[in-house]
Structure 1
Amino acid sequence: MPILGLAPDRYPTKPAHFDIERVIRPNILSLHPYRCARDDYSEGILLDANENALGHSIPPSAASALEPEVQPTLALDLHRYPSPTHDPIKARLAELRGLPGTEWVFLGVGSDEVIDLLIRVCVAPGTEKVLITPPTYGMYAVCAQVNDVGVVKVPLVLEGEEGEGGERGRFAVDVEEVKKAISADPSIKLVFLCSPGNPTGTLISLSSIRSILEYEDFNGIVIVDEAYIDFADEKASAVTLLQEYGNLCVTQTLSKSFGLAAIRLGIAFAHPALVQILMNTKAPYNVSTPTASLALSALSPDAIELMKSKVSTLVKSRGELLRGLEQLRPLGLGAAIGGNDANFVMVPILEKNGSGRPDNVRAQKIYKTLAEHEGVVVRYRGGEPGCAGCVRITVGSDEEIKVVLQKLGELLKSL
């Protein structure tokens, strides 16, 4: 059954073993997408969508109480439904990531909507599965459970010297074990990889991703979650593989490097065939007009340069945070683990007796005391595979880094 809205010559041709129609659920392939009012016309006297022709009802008195940066949104056509496609945003994203055009870009309400939608279109509830590589982002498993989809877990490489890197370094993808799991269970339809990893901060090598994409036993899609990619080497993105592989989808977001977590804009970069499927399935007006307006501003040339400048500052601050944490090691803090390629670092808190072993109890106590008594909130990650005793610390401002190092040092001495 052909993909509705996709020209026959736009189907993926590589890798040779991949057939997208075997990946997408039959009910999704046969779905006739809802045609919304703005699909056909967006200009003129618009009397087609039952909108309020008199405009929004936020009075000037209430508007003046809003934050100054929010007030301009009231000048937008808030009484009109937003664009269902937002092609200007897609065009800027395609240019930014070096892709041919808007047909390679899908927009969602944060990456979480993209993740959920990919599971819904590809994986049959109750019978099919996704594969994840813990420790990893928790929403993959949450979305799978919500959709009654099974989860196969193949842990990352949990042993290895810190900073070893390469195909078998700590928190690398265990490619051979992933392949074994795929061969053993043909019901696996999606493989989720997080690069840089959350909570590991470790990049997944492009050679590892290629190896899974080319594995002939897998007729599914590899999802590479790159929420933190701008904090890593610019050549590390799997977007560079997209025009080569039709079975790859790369998710990104404006939440991290762009500093726009509140507007909830997630992105999927993929072959036009998969993008068309996502467009056919999504809610008609999933991205709001205020979100779109802010996103378009954030993707202007000047704004992108400012983003890159701030990322550079945060990468430098990441180094300062790591050096400060190193000074606390005599107090019972382990060396930072993972690749440190994101805007956070992860460190194990050790037993106070000098054994060098990670201590989940002590880590939880420090985590809770920091938050509840010192006003410093970090994230406890000790329950994740390979992360015993760990807390994850986001790279903050210079002043925030100074405070967290001071407070952490005091607690390591006292607890």
Structure 2
Amino acid sequence: MGVQGVNAQACALARAHKPEHFVLERVVRPNILALQPYRCARDDFQEGVLLDANENAMGPAMAPGSAYEELDLHRYPDPSLYEARERATKLRGLPHPAYTFLGVGSDEVIDLIQRCFARPGQDKILICPPTYGMYSVSANINDIDVVEVPLITENGAFQLDTPRVQAALRADPAIRVVFLCSPGNPTGTLLPLHDVQQVLDTPDYAGLVVVDEAYIDFAAEKQALKHGAEPVSAVSLVHEYANVIVAQTLSKSFGLAGVRLGLAFAQPPIVQVMNNTKAPYNISSPAAYLASQSLSDDGIARMRANVQALLHQRDRLQQALAKIPAAGAVLGGNDANFVLVQVLDRPGGVPDSQRAKHVYETMARHRGLVVRNRSSELGCAGCLRITIGTAQENDLCIALLTELLA
């Protein structure tokens, strides 16, 4: 049985469907593969006198002149979603919108992947800690076991232990999905694409590899500023690999955290499975409209300018941290919009998790500046994760750390 509704013409636009041993139909849960997707009213007709969907013909209960009055909020969202899918596809250089899925933030994408491709109580996912916590949370919700293969953490490298990952995949056929975070959270470190390819090419591994790229635009802009030509995003692998899914979001580089719009890029059969399974109208009209505006030429230019400004502020913050005697190394590759900095027990001393917790709580409770305590994470002893703010916010952060670590 093939995937219902898949666009064969879009599939043909892929340059290859590697690896040869991968068969998607063997990974999709049988009940999902056989699913008859819910057909929405707007899938058939979008115009005319619409008396088909039990909508409120009187209009939305909002004050006249509302900013979104023209969006017809009393109607269910138009499947075109203001061309947000088409614009995201074009931005990432893929050949057809059938390669792009839109979700309610990356968290819906993560959850939906697990629901589609891992059987509750039978299958497993593999993660590489320290990493984003929602992979495990979603797995627990979906009754899926978690296999952990830690990153190489020595000297703040936070790189993939590729041989151990491959060994784990060969040893356990119940692993159906691998989650790789690049740039990592909380590590801020980009994973080289050749490491990702090695995992994708693992002989006898029949499952999927998800590369979570929430912070990828910061790494890409960093590469561009160095005049590098090599691709940094795993979206470049979607053209050839049938077993890769690349998750992204508009929350970080595009500054739309409040909109909650995530993306997944994969070859059309995978995207179609996810579309067949998702809830009807999962993307609201306001979210689609705002995403479409940000994915316009002007929006993308604004995003890149903002990213460059944040990279400048990140460099400035790092330089200031290096002058604080009891602040240790900034770990990782610094490929995101945050830094992971050690708090030492004394100038020139060792990372101190208790002192890091004290500094974090003092700043948050008594000084009104909130960072993230990550000292309990593997390889992150004594570490605070500091998001890059405005110049004024960074100045305040530097002043407080200088005082509290004196």
TM-score range, shorter chain: over 0.9
- 2-structure distance, mates of 1:115, 1:121: 10
* Residue of structure 2 aligned with 1:185, choices 138, 159, 172: 172
For 1:325 and 1:136, the matched residues in 2 are separated by 24
Report Cα offsets for 1:300-325 as digits up to 9, x if no partner: 11111111011011111110010011
* TM-score between the two structures when normalised by the length of structure 1: 0.92
2:17 to 3, 7, 13: 13
Whether 1:203 and 2:190 are equivalent positions in the alignment is yes
Contact 2:127–2:149, Cα closer than 8 Å, also in 1: yes
Residue from 280, 286, 290 that aligns with 2:276:
280
Q: Offset of 1:87 from its aligned partner?
A: 6.8
The reply to whether residue 230 of structure 1 matches residue 226 of structure 2 is no
Structure 1 residue 158 displacement after superposition: 1.2
**Cα deviation code 1:360-400 (max 9, x no counterpart):** 11110100000011111000001100001100000000001
- Superimposed CA distance per residue, residues 55-106 of structure 1 (whole angstroms, 9 cap, x where no aligned partner): 011234xx7xxxxxxx421331000001345371111111111100100000
The equivalent of 1:338 in structure 2 is 332
1:7-406 residue pairs with structure 2 within 5 A? 10=11, 13-60=17-64, 71-84=66-79, 86=81, 88-160=83-155, 170-233=157-220, 235-328=231-324, 330=325, 332-352=326-346, 354=347, 356-406=349-399
Q: Secondary structure at the match of 1:72?
A: coil
Verify the 8 A CA contact 2:364 2:371 in the aligned structure 1: yes
Letter of the structure 2 residue corresponding to residue 158 of structure 1: T
Structure-2 separation of matches of 1:326 and 1:149: 43
Q: TM-score, normalised by structure 2?
A: 0.94
Cα distance between partner residues in 2 of 1:183 and 1:115: 23
Shift of 1:23: 0.7
Cα distance between partner residues in 1 of 2:379 and 2:193? 23
Can you give the 5+ residue segments of structure 2 that lack an aligned partner in the other structure? 222-230
Any conservation in 2 of the 1:87–1:102 contact (CA below 8 Å)?
A: no
In the alignment, structure 1 segments of 5+ residues that lack a partner are 64-70, 163-169
Q: Is the 8 A contact 2:188 2:333 kept in 1?
A: yes
Confirm or deny: 8 A CA contact 2:82 2:292 kept in the other structure: no
Q: In the TM superposition, what whole-angstrom CA distance separates every residue of 1:271-298 from its partner, at most 9, and x where no partner exists?
A: 0000000010000100000101111111
Conserved? CA contact 1:84–1:284, under 8 Å: no
Cα distance in 2 between the residues matched to 1:278 and 1:85 = 17
Summarize deviations over 1:159-187 as a string: whole Å, max 9, x none: 14x5xxxxxxx100000010111111110
Q: 1:87 to 1:3 in 2, by over 3 A?
A: farther
For 1:66, the equivalent position in structure 2 comes to none
Q: What is the CA–CA distance in structure 2 between the aligned matches of 1:288 and 1:55, rounded to whole Å?
A: 16
d(CA) in 1 for partners of 2:63, 2:291: 26
**How much has 1:355 moved relative to structure 2?**
6.6
Q: Give the whole-Å Cα distance in 2 for the aligned partners of 1:140 and 1:158.
A: 20
Inter-partner Cα distance in structure 1 for 2:392 and 2:5: 52
Please state whether the residue corresponding to 2:57 is helix, strand or coil.
coil
Superposition deviation, residue 127 in structure 1: 0.8
Q: Percent identity over the alignment?
A: 54
- 1:108 is matched by which residue type in structure 2? G
Give the letter for the 1:197 counterpart. G
Two-structure CA RMSD over aligned residues (Å): 1.4
1:122-168 per-position Cα deviation (integer Å, ceiling 9, x unaligned) = 000011000000000000000000000000000000114x5xxxxxx
SS of equivalent to 1:295: helix
Instruction: Please give the secondary structure, in 2, of the residue aligned with 1:370.
Output: helix
Do 2:200 and 2:243's aligned partners in 1 also have CA atoms closer than 8 Å? yes
- Equivalent-residue separation in structure 1 for 2:251 and 2:165 (angstroms): 29
Provide the C-alpha distance between the structure 1 equivalents of 2:329 and 2:390, rounded to a whole number of angstroms. 22
Distance 1:84 1:150 in 2: 35
**Whole-Å Cα distance in 1 between the matches of residues 342 and 148 of structure 2?**
23
Summarize deviations over 1:18-50 as a string: whole Å, max 9, x none: 000011000000000000101111110000000
Alignment-mate amino acid for residue 198 of structure 2 = S
| Superposed displacement of residue 15, structure 1 | 1.1
Moved over 6 A (4+): none
Sort the Cα spacing of 1:43 and 1:205 in 2 relative to 1 into closer, same or farther, 3 A: same
Give the corresponding residue for 1:167. Answer: none
Structure 2 residue matching 1:251: 3-state secondary structure: strand
| Matched residues, number | 393
